[in-house]
Copies of this chain bind each other. A is one copy, B any other.
Amino acid sequence: MTRSDTAKSRPRGGLADKRRAILTGALTVFARDGYTRASIDAIAAEAGVSTRTVYNHFTDKAELFQSVIQESANRAAEAQIAVIDRHFHKITDLEQDLIEFGIAWATPMTAEHAKHFALVRQINADAGHIPKEAIDAWQQAGPQRVRRELADRIRQLADRGLLRGDDPERTAIHLVLLVSDVEPSYSAITPTEEEITEMVTAGVRAFLHGHARDS
């Protein structure tokens, strides 16, 4: 009685894109439960697919996980780079444009991307039990790629004399830190649009001028 009631709509048909369904379901379950807790049965159910089919597409739970984090990294990186490109193309009023960038950066947190960040937390916690090659590949496809992109944009702003030009990599890190929310989703409180704006504004001001009195 535990098998047939978990899968609500299994029309039993639909060949072909099972693999994508599995990856999507696995993302959901891995992000929610973590690697060890996540059971293949739960993933299969979430994907609307038989357990056996999962093993038909992926040899291992481990390989499935690595595929999931790789795809997650790629998708998230695409999205974030899109945000970067969109907002750094037309910088005229530095502070105002950075604030708009920060809002766009911090806002998508509310929808589908929440899963990606939950997965990132799982990776951070489980890093000691994930093969180093997988971690490296993930880092390179995700965070590092985005950071390099942002650093390039910052370098361009420095060339235009709008920012200091020393160590654009670290400057990029600082910017991202200051416009991102702390507290990853405890108590499931979604910050309002106003709170995001306020946080981002404060972050951008700190990024540009710092907190010293005389600045």
Chain B residue numbers with a CB within 8 Å of A171 are 206, 211
A185 is an interface residue with CB less than 8 A from chain B: yes
A91 CB–B CB distance under 8 Å: no
CB of A196 to closest CB in B, whole Å: 13
Q: Are B211 and A128 within 8 A (Cβ)?
A: no
Stretch at the interface among A8-16, A30-38, A69-77, A100-108: A30-38
Task: Tell me if A94 is interfacial: C-beta within 8 Å of chain B.
Answer: yes
Contact with B along A185-215 (1 / 0, CB 8 A): 1110000000000010011011111111101
Is A148 an interface position by the 8 A CB rule?
no
Between-chain CB contacts (< 8 Å), 29 pairs: A32-B128, A36-B36, A36-B37, A94-B212, A118-B128, A121-B124, A124-B124, A124-B184, A125-B126, A127-B186, A136-B187, A139-B186, A158-B213, A163-B212, A163-B213, A164-B211, A164-B212, A164-B213, A167-B202, A170-B199, A174-B202, A174-B206, A175-B211, A177-B182, A205-B210, A206-B210, A208-B215, A209-B210, A215-B215
Question: Chain A: residues with CB nearer than 8 A to chain B?
Answer: 32-34, 36-37, 94, 118, 121-122, 124-129, 132, 135-136, 139, 158, 161-164, 167, 170-171, 173-175, 177-178, 182, 184-187, 199, 202-203, 205-213, 215
